[in-house]
Amino acid sequence: MATKTHWEVENNLHWMLDIAFSEDACQTKNDNAAENLSTLRRIALNILQLDKASKRSMRGKRKKAGWSNSYLSRLLKSFIVTGA
């Protein structure tokens, strides 16, 4: 059961990255660029998933963040981790 759950989570993550960020279409082959871009996409996905105020799709949230500096700023401020 744990294996099935793991693969469901893994497949959903990759599906979301491909749909929202067109990850499979990325053909970056320069040194560590592919791994770095993958990490940034996952961070962006997590930030967008934390936004419960907007009812837009993941792609819609990405576009809105690109068009609106105030929305982008709100997303980034909500993601800042404080204290340790």
> Per-residue pLDDT tens for 38-54?
788 888 888 888 888 88
CA dist 49 and 60 (Å) reads 12
Position 84 scores a pLDDT of 47
In the predicted structure, residue 36 carries a pLDDT above the cut 70 = yes
pTM comes to: 0.67
Q: What is the 8-class DSSP label of residue 22?
A: -
